[in-house]
Amino acid sequence: MNSLNYSSYFTYKDKVSRSISWGHWFALLNIFLSLLIGCAYLYNTPSPSTALGTAYLIISWLGHFSFLVFVIYILIFFPMAFLCRSTKVYRIISIILTTALMTLLLVDVKLYQSIKMHLNISVIGLFFEQEGFSTGLNYNFLFIATPMLALIECYFSTLAWKNHYLHRFQKMTVLVTIAFTLAFLSTHIMHIWANAYKYVPITQQKSIFPAYYPMTANTFLKEHGLLTSYDTNSSNNQVERNNIQISSQKLHYPLNTIRVTPNEEPLNVILILINGISYEHMTNEYMPNLFKYASSHDSYIKNYLGNIEGMATIFEMIYGIPAHYMNTVQSEKYPPIIISEMLQQDYKISSFITGKTPNNAKQLANISSIRLKNVNSYANDTTTVFKAVEWITGTEWPTRPQFTTISLNSPKTLALDKNATILFTPQIDAPVVESNSITEENVTKLKNRYLNSVYNTDHQLGLLLEALNENKILKKSVLIITSSSGFDLSNYMINSKNEYRRNDHHVPLVIAWPDAVIPARISAISSAQDIAPTIAREVLHIQNNEDDYTTGTNLRELQNRAWVISGSKDQLNIISADQTTIFDKHGTATTYNDNQKETIPPNMSTLIKAMKLMNRFSN
């Protein structure tokens, strides 16, 4: 007897109805699968700081993924039911498309897990354009995950086909649908309220899930013509945002217990910071003493700062990690590894800085974890050097190992003593050069004032070096000369744009070792974050792998590397030998070389690796 072709008895209307009915069940099952995959976003997101923030996170998870699957069903699968003449073909195409979409969701999870970034048109374009899919992430798991997803979708298809005729689950599906709808609506209502009242534990969650664009009070009011402008950059909002960021970010520093083999004869460390200079000014004309000293000791000719703020750079020097962590470290009072170990090894820690204001000493003490009473501040570089020499050549110095920081600020503040040597004229003769006070026609005078400040600070450096040599201090000391802030005169110009200039952040780094034989001129790129691991390994003899406590590297073992990173809460800097790429808080990438800047698409592989390095100590 010939088999009957039952499909021929169904009209086109019946087939569409069956496909749509099956599609509803298939979509519902995929909502649960997407929620399961979406748990990965919850796991890789810092816990909100309040109970309301946690509740919003869970509600938005339920509402967002259910709505996302529903929208995809309405836009793709629902219209396709009218185009496919065969329900079997419709189911097969649906399985293939759903498997592909769930695979993309897994890729997005991996991307978010590594760099807190979601797939979009630009990112997908970079996957195809750069380095043949070499993004620095391992997607081999997709060879197992994709077939598993296909099997799950086949099972869902069968399950939906069996149940679309049954009505025993109808009440349950209605309740589930209502729950998802309420979750979606509640998410947007809560976000409107949070945005209106600047409730940061909720508003900061808008980038957790893929394709997530919650309605805000701004957009809601603007769409109804009730609001024309909205200031989201108020200082109050900024303070609140910083506080929430501090309390919600978890830090794991160091990654492992520190292991040390102390030296029987510990070396002293003298760190000299000449703030406000750049590498181009380390010449025989402007800084003869530093130029001569650099030629006979290890000089790092491609040393770049990532931050224009001096305190952020000092943080990177002492901790060996990006200033991105500075607020968290200060809030949770994590001590620097090298300072903690120095105290364990009975080091005397002291600082001599130019800047006779309480804030200068207090900021340095907070950042470096040095006791405030050991931070000595003076009105000018001459006095600072005199007092430092008095301390170093005194009777107490040889009794204990020493870590002494000497910070000279005249090039940064354009300060000149009454007895200063004036080589470069004409210059601005005012006792104090105020910010935003210099016009364009006085630029030459301003530069000459700066060069005179540099020259006279170099003279003080020469006196300091002479005292160290005469008293044979350097036979048992490591001397590091560098800068915590580069050359920048834009602050003194009227209506000037405070733009990043790569050359201004290229600063000297000179290190004198007591056991050095041949001076080296190192061309590998270095940064402020390399100083802490250098002291840790070479002076304190910390045995851990550097990855346990720093993003820098030991300068005595420095090898060529493609780039270094730096960053703050607002930006990420990727610094290579010939260019610097800065990602701002809006995700815009701007690349600077020594002569110009341009906005270009970021290198995806470099960005992912840099973000993984940046977040090494974040849980």
Sheet-wide strand order for 348-354: 375-378, 348-354, 402-408, 268-274, 477-482, 510-512, 298-300, 521-522
pLDDT of residue 586: 61
pLDDT one-digit tens code per residue, 426-474: 998 888 887 777 887 888 898 999 999 999 999 999 999 999 999 999 9
pLDDT one-digit tens code per residue, 94-122: 999 999 999 999 988 888 887 677 877 76
Those residues whose C-beta lies under 8 Å from the C-beta of residue 554, and which sit 6 or more positions away, are: 530, 533, 534, 536, 537, 538, 546
* In-domain check, residue 263: no
Do residues 204 and 352 both lie within one domain? no
> Domain ends where: 190, 218, 248?
248
Mean pLDDT of 120-139: 59
pLDDT of residue 113: 80
Mean pLDDT of 526-543: 95
The CA distance from 389 to 463, in Å, is 9
CATH number, domain with residue 321: 3.40.720.10
pLDDT one-digit tens code per residue, 36-85: 999 999 988 878 878 898 999 999 999 999 999 999 999 999 999 888 87
pLDDT of residue 162: 78
User: Does residue 126 carry a pLDDT above 80?
Assistant: no
* In-domain check, residue 256: no
User: Does residue 265 carry a pLDDT above 70?
Assistant: yes
pLDDT of residue 123: 65
Do residues 235 and 285 both lie within one domain? no
* In-domain check, residue 619: no
pLDDT of residue 431: 80
Amino acid at 74: I
Nearest alpha-carbon partner for 479 in 524, 520, 539, 525 = 539
> Domain ends where: 216, 248, 280?
248
Do residues 280 and 145 both lie within one domain? no
Do residues 240 and 155 both lie within one domain? yes
Do residues 424 and 536 both lie within one domain? yes
Q: What is the 3-state secondary structure (H, E, C) of 312-354?
A: HHHHHHHHCCCHHHHHHHHHHCCCCHHHHHHHHCCCEEEEEEE
* In-domain check, residue 411: yes
CB 305 within 8 A of CB 323: no
User: Does residue 399 carry a pLDDT above 60?
Assistant: yes
pLDDT of residue 585: 65
When pLDDT is cut at 50, 70 and 90, the band that residue 219 belongs to is very low
pLDDT of residue 579: 87
pLDDT one-digit tens code per residue, 309-336: 778 899 999 999 998 888 888 888 888 9
CB 279 within 8 A of CB 561: no
Do residues 190 and 305 both lie within one domain? no
> Domain ends where: 188, 220, 248?
248
Average pLDDT of every residue of the chain: 83
The CA distance from 415 to 408, in Å, is 11
User: Does residue 306 carry a pLDDT above 50?
Assistant: yes
* In-domain check, residue 498: yes
Do residues 482 and 404 both lie within one domain? yes
Do residues 207 and 319 both lie within one domain? no
User: Does residue 130 carry a pLDDT above 70?
Assistant: no
User: Does residue 125 carry a pLDDT above 70?
Assistant: no
Entry field: residues in the chain? 619
CB 429 within 8 A of CB 453: no
User: Does residue 526 carry a pLDDT above 80?
Assistant: yes
* In-domain check, residue 503: yes
- The residue range of the domain holding 403 is 268-614
Do residues 338 and 464 both lie within one domain? yes
The CA distance from 45 to 49, in Å, is 12
The domain total for the chain is 2
pLDDT of residue 238: 39
* In-domain check, residue 467: yes
Do residues 243 and 272 both lie within one domain? no
User: Does residue 587 carry a pLDDT above 70?
Assistant: no
CB 436 within 8 A of CB 489: no
Nearest alpha-carbon partner for 157 in 99, 85, 100, 104 = 99
Do residues 35 and 93 both lie within one domain? yes
CB 525 within 8 A of CB 576: yes
Amino acid at 434: E
Amino acid at 415: A
Which has the minimum average pLDDT: 23-27, 113-117, 265-269, 333-337?
113-117
When pLDDT is cut at 50, 70 and 90, the band that residue 289 belongs to is very high
CA atoms within 13 A on the CB side of 193: 11
pLDDT one-digit tens code per residue, 175-212: 888 999 999 999 989 988 888 877 878 877 877 888 87
Q: With pLDDT > 90 as the criterion, what percentage of the chain qualifies?
A: 44
How far from chain centre, in Å, is Cα 493? Answer: 30
* In-domain check, residue 582: yes
Do residues 391 and 507 both lie within one domain? yes
